[in-house]
Chains A and B, each alone.
Chain A
């Protein structure tokens, strides 16, 4: 290599290159500072040629650089300084103020009997930016792929569940046109899928239930779900059967309702069992009634003999025995009264009952001259034992009898997230803190008429619970908690 090529001059071939070229001697004196590096750094050739590179760029005066570059001066292999560990070998600023990202190679150049070091600096700012952008894109794509894979797995799992269930699942448009059905639905209704897809759902509805389809579709279009709705459907052969129906709206990504899913469970068998249970209850009730009647007859006889015995003696010892016998007979009569009340519970099947109407009917026999009953209830139906009315009677009657200062008894309803709460509250003395749970025990029977014990039993038949949550001194408040399957708006 000629001196002219090594030492910096205007018009050097190095100036033609689109990379920064610096040639240094072993003592780090700059011999070549090409146009490109002069342009990047803003430091002209005449300033740099002849000066010491380590003095101008002190970060290079470290063993990390010196040891490796030393190999080059002894004719060793080229040395690479990557942008990852040495992004700014010779700091050079871009117009936007950022530093150029550099990839640097130092190669030995023979000059006579010695080696010079040629530092070749590539600007890879754009490349590093593109790689970063590519990595971000790839990460986004990988995340999306992962999400899609998970979604597909979930969809496959759900599809397997849908296909394997005995429940009849039907997909439909908001107007009630059938769009899909699972094999459970094919078995339940007796139609192959291809025969009913595109048909209106009404082909599965018996004439006597024709009203409930418009009701269901109107609820779906409002975005509401229907749970465990008991109705009837018919098969392809015209056989009518009982079902429990759950219908939910289907929404697209824009949250618009695009259809509905309907899950039907055949409850014919359940209905048969309920009927068998009803018959058994009826027989038990009859047996209870006859037995109770016979015992009462015997009790009447016993009371008569006790009265006769009272007339026969004034002996204190016998008089005390007679009093205890009389007490025992009274206890038997009270227990028979409890049996009479209890025997009616669960005998008749639970039924949907209009809530405000039931409350109104329940409180009608009460003496309401000193008390006002306020009924603030929505038009809803509650699925409960037919003795539900006696629960409301009992609550109001207890308030009047034990509330002392009661002037108003209020019935209201609150919609919870996963339940409905019917509240019966008064403005009397309330229930003392220590007995809030005690009042639901059987021992309280004689103090509370029909008994909160029986009220709780009646309600529990359909999963409804009752508790007292009032503040002592400001009135009693009974909360009747109704699960979503046990109440519905009136159609």
Chain B
């Protein structure tokens, strides 16, 4: 198993940033809002050792739009928010006058599109580097903890988790979420090798 170096981590962050940059442009066009989207930092951890001391312990339910992929690289990509932040994001993007912070069916459907745009853009960046085709599941919305999300993939203890902190700046409001990449055994190696291949 290749342990990603600092340069590898930077390269993965850059790949994700290219994706979210494209996604922000699409979201601006669709919503008519001025949306800035960036990923200031990422961390890569073993799924078994995952603890995110800043937000939750991996069991707190989060609003999650996810997509699994299979092929030379297998795993799951997801956009996750605390439910209240997810509702706020939708309210800001849709300019709703509603003040309730509950995620109802219509807001879930809207968040699914937002998550779909971001995840597709990120996976598009990664697929460009891989130069190989991946098979994707349909996007899904769930409210569950990151551990449960990982469990649903039947992950193994040494699977890797890429946590990219995502900042959504909509008008004057900043909303924080995470873009997650759960990479099954060997997938991180494939990704790093592909990155090295691009760089040589």
Contacts and interface: CB of A to CB of B under 8 A. Distances in A.
Whether A associates with B in a native complex is yes
Size category, B interface: 20 to 34
A128 interface: yes
B26 interface: yes
A126 B90 CA distance: 21
Given A103-B109, A131-B106, A78 B100 contact: no
A1 to B, nearest CB: 15
A232 B120 CA distance: 86
B113 A134 contact: no
Contact of A131 (B30, B90, B105): B105
A78 to B, nearest CB: 5
A85 B106 contact: no
B39 interface: no
Contact of B104 (A63, A76, A82, A134): A134
Contacts of A71: 120, 124
A134 B120 CA distance: 32
Interface string B93-129: 0100010101011100110110011011001100100
Nearest to B117: A68
B123 A142 contact: no
A79 B30 CA distance: 14
A83 B136 contact: no
A13 interface: no
B31 interface: yes
B133 interface: yes
Interface in A12-46: none
Given A77-B120, A78-B138, A135-B100, A127 B30 contact: no
Majority DSSP secondary structure for residues of B touching A:
helix
B127 A76 contact: yes
B139 A64 contact: no
Given A82-B109, A82-B110, A83-B109, A76 B26 contact: no
A138 interface: yes
A84 interface: yes
B136 A84 contact: no
Given A78-B136, A79-B120, A84 B106 contact: yes
A71 B113 CA distance: 15
A128 B106 contact: yes
A84 B104 contact: no
A80 B116 contact: yes
A75 interface: yes
In the A-B complex, the 9 residue pairs with the smallest Cβ-Cβ separation, listed nearest first, are A82-B113, A77-B136, A84-B110, A80-B116, A80-B113, A131-B106, A82-B109, A82-B110, A85-B30
24 contacts: A64-B26, A68-B117, A68-B120, A77-B69, A77-B120, A77-B123, A78-B139, A79-B116, A79-B120, A80-B113, A82-B112, A82-B113, A84-B113, A85-B30, A85-B31, A85-B94, A85-B110, A85-B113, A103-B109, A107-B138, A131-B104, A131-B105, A135-B98, A135-B100
